[in-house]
Structure 1
Amino acid sequence: MTRWFRSYWDEQDTWFYFEVGTDDWVRRQVELEGPALRPIAAASAEDDDARCGFTAELPVTDREGHVEEPLTFEEFEDVWAAARRHLMAPEA
């Protein structure tokens, strides 16, 4: 079963949004940095576009110290779409 959640890492002042499968491997991942929540990654395991970053290299169950805040599919999709638009936009 697919699930969606977010976690905050205060050392990096970054919110991580995850879509994970039943195996706990990340399918899609968004990273929003700082108080402005600037998108720095919106990566998909099926996408190799370096402009959008890369997904975690470990299953999320292997990460220590993170607290999962559940999200709905729609909440994740809104953040995903906004981050992808930002990262894929032509540079001015």
Structure 2
Amino acid sequence: MTRWFRSYWAEEDTWFYFEADADGWVTRQVEIQGPLQRPIAAASLAEWEAAQQAGALAEYEATFGITAEVPVHQWDAHEPQDLTAGEFETVWLTARAACQARARARSTRGT
């Protein structure tokens, strides 16, 4: 069963939004930071694995970041707040668009 939730890390002033599978592995992750709620990551485990196999991992991580590397039940000191699939999807789509726009801006400046 898929689960959607978010957790806040005050030390980094960051909201982490997660989609996790039945075993607790994060399949998609969004990070939103600071008082302006700036999306800084919107990574998919399946996309990350495909990028790794294609030899494009550095580019993927520079654009979208990475997902958590351990199941959520192993995390300490996080207080998950449940989300609906729709709530997660709204945050996901907004963060993906922001990450893609930043990547385009980087590539434009680099040429």
Give the TM-score, by structure 1 length. Answer: 0.97
Cα drift, residue 47 of structure 1: 1.3
1:9-88 alignment to 2 at 5 Å? 9-48=9-48, 49-50=60-61, 51-88=63-100
User: Which has the larger strand fraction?
Assistant: 1
Report the Cα offset of residue 14 of structure 1: 0.3
Deviation of residue 39 (structure 1)? 0.6
Relative to the length of structure 2, the TM-score reads 0.81
Larger Rg: 2
- Aligned Cα root-mean-square deviation (Å): 0.9
Q: Secondary structure at the match of 1:46?
A: helix
Structure with the larger helix share: 2
Give the distance between the partners of 2:36 and 2:78, measured in 1 at CA: 21
Q: Give the number of equivalent residue pairs.
A: 92
Q: After superposition, give the CA deviation of every residue in 1:8-65 in whole Å (9 maximum; x if it has no partner).
A: 0001000000000000000000000001110110000011321100000110111100
**Structure 2 gap segments, 5+ residues each:** 49-59
Which runs of 5 or more structure 1 residues have no equivalent in the other structure?
A: none
Cα displacement (A) at 1:72: 0.3
